[in-house]
Structure 1
């Protein structure tokens, strides 16, 4: 992290300034990125311009595909995969249903207990799939020869626990299972290797600072290169190899991961291009160091007050029991956090500072 990012408290403690310069100026103390992120000013400006353009050119704009193509490439760079390995979607749940449909009848899917419903419910609901859940910490050890897919979030939404991704990847490879990784609570602040997993999905409206409606699916492993793509069961005209000839009748799906594209929400991807560009400028490693330093500062403050957050070492999400009733008081004071599962959840991102952490702690007093 750049030394200019720090200043000194009068008491000698390091003070952490927000990243992103004047891209953010929230009227609240916003500590709720695990629910949804703030929109950068550059993204908001692009969105306003796109809405104004629609007055004369329709809601698909003058070029429906330009921002989507740029967003695909920007996400691919952040995840270190080729752009032709990324598909555009609308929600994690839709992508989970697609992954479920790619599995053979009777397939066992292994997932952590209590993982986010958008990831696991479409798998559980799919006819013929047998969903088995185990504690997150036991996930790698519970992969067995009959396991067809291991599905998990890289970071748990409820309490910020980070999965042992290398152990899960290696166990799945040992037993011939595919892997499906949800990085919605990780992409943008946690360094990741998407190529290590078969399916990697990201709802981009949290840490990636995009509007709802921007979702990305990256393909690692051998799918589409040396091994056939899964069937493009929800392919529409945008997924055709020749888009201009794909409006009527059955299509020939694109040779790349674009064969899994949904007709995208234009405005969401107009903003996404600029939000992902900002994260690329800052660098995920810089954001990671910033976020985790703030989270550690908050954990230390909780401990000083006799409070014990759920263990989640190295996470930007801190969830604490016994504080759920503080949410209403915090909201009235302009501090945005969340309550999940009876835990007060605070999430620290690039636009936060030690001043934000200290304000939260003082209000908890």
Structure 2
């Protein structure tokens, strides 16, 4: 990536764990420090901070190809999914992938929907006339596998089912159009390089039948005139589904999203995938192939126990379901990939030399 981007990040380790949490760019760190100092010194400016939410909404819309009027903001994916879950009648079928991330499916279970989990690769084929909604992550949190979104979208349309896509592990490295689906949700603290507390929901132009269950003053058509008593007029846009913002998160998030929206999305995708493919080839050479796929998230069966030893050597990855999970983003380089492979090779060699090793 270009030198401007490189100057925004300063990891002190080999950081390959964006799938758990992305790194904050320098501009976001500066923004949150300034805002926190303003709070400490009595220069609170809620008008400016609320405007940061607007800026973030607009930048996210540019990233996913939607106008800001179709983007709602909140703090967590589960809260957004809960709004969608309230549109599904109890007992109706919600089709999902096996081992789907819990925030995508639990709100439906809590509402009494009938969840039917099938293998990810079979999802499109399993849509049927009785399916009310298909809920799936664009890229799986567990192992990075990508859903066949065009096939799922086509199957859902053919059977009259709606679609909900969680793009948390995709938006920021994988180009996709949110408007292709009825609803999308996306937490910003991973590939969008925001703090926790920044999350987005996209809805159809007519709101998709959602009820603004979490509406407070920020959801009013005129927020500063909606601060007492029931809000008389909710926003005519998706902003009616907004939750009250955690301002420090959004002040930083607006800067991060502006950075990403100003970059070439195709270039980021190509960069991230090239590094992931390099890592996959290296894993093949050492005899520990990854879960098949073409994703910026790479998971390796049977190596979850190696994560602490990698961390001790300055390489940050994650363990999920017994898998070692590595993720590659715009601040990573080929040197990071090679460093991780070298350390992993040393770890495996030590296992072989250990008494009783294979």
What is the TM-score of this pair, normalised by structure 1? 0.91
Q: Paired residue for 1:12?
A: none
Matched, 1:21 2:6: yes
Deviations 1:9-57 (A, max 9, x none): xxxxxxxx88812111110110000000000001101111111111244
Matched, 1:250 2:233: no
Q: Paired residue for 2:354?
A: none
Alignment match of 1:223 (pick from 206, 219, 222): 206
* Contact 1:92-1:202 within 8 A present in 2 as well: yes
State the 1:247 CA deviation. 1.9
Q: Paired residue for 2:353?
A: none
Q: Paired residue for 1:240?
A: 220
Question: Match of 1:133, SS?
Answer: strand
Alignment match of 1:339 (pick from 314, 319, 329): 319
Matched, 1:305 2:286: yes
Seen in structure 2, the aligned counterparts of structure 1 residues 60 and 95 have a Cα distance that, compared at 3 Å, is farther
Q: Paired residue for 1:160?
A: 144
Deviations 1:219-272 (A, max 9, x none): 24x533xxx642211111111112233222222211100000000110111111
Structure 1 CA distance for aligned equivalents of residues 4 and 79 of structure 2? 33
Structure 2 CA distance for aligned equivalents of residues 269 and 344 of structure 1? 31
Structure 2 CA distance for aligned equivalents of residues 62 and 77 of structure 1? 23
Note the aligned Cα RMSD (angstroms): 1.6
Matches within 5 A, 1:201-212: 201-212=185-196
Matched, 1:352 2:337: no
Q: Paired residue for 1:148?
A: 132
Structure 1 CA distance for aligned equivalents of residues 270 and 17 of structure 2? 18
State the 1:59 CA deviation. 6.0
* Contact 2:49-2:250 within 8 A present in 1 as well: no
Q: Paired residue for 2:72?
A: 87
Structure 1 CA distance for aligned equivalents of residues 49 and 285 of structure 2? 53
Q: Paired residue for 1:10?
A: none
Matches within 5 A, 1:82-231: 82-127=67-112, 129-220=113-204, 223-224=206-207, 229-231=209-211
State the 1:63 CA deviation. 2.4
Structure 1 CA distance for aligned equivalents of residues 85 and 42 of structure 2? 38
Q: Paired residue for 2:250?
A: 269
In the TM superposition, structure 1's runs of 4+ consecutive aligned residues that sit over 3 Å from their partners are: 56-62
Structure 2 CA distance for aligned equivalents of residues 46 and 19 of structure 1? 17
Structure 1 CA distance for aligned equivalents of residues 214 and 47 of structure 2? 26
The range that moved more, 112-121 or 239-248, is: 239-248
Structure 2 CA distance for aligned equivalents of residues 250 and 29 of structure 1? 50
State the 1:103 CA deviation. 1.9
Q: Paired residue for 1:291?
A: 272
Matched, 1:317 2:301: no
Question: Match of 2:142, SS?
Answer: coil
Deviations 1:194-240 (A, max 9, x none): 000111110000000000000011124x533xxx6422111111111
Structure 2 CA distance for aligned equivalents of residues 142 and 166 of structure 1? 14
* Contact 1:50-1:61 within 8 A present in 2 as well: no
The range that moved more, 270-279 or 32-41, is: 270-279
State the 1:281 CA deviation. 2.0
Structure 2 CA distance for aligned equivalents of residues 361 and 317 of structure 1? 15
Structure 1 CA distance for aligned equivalents of residues 129 and 43 of structure 2? 53
* Contact 1:298-1:361 within 8 A present in 2 as well: yes
* Contact 2:49-2:251 within 8 A present in 1 as well: no
The range that moved more, 105-114 or 150-159, is: 105-114
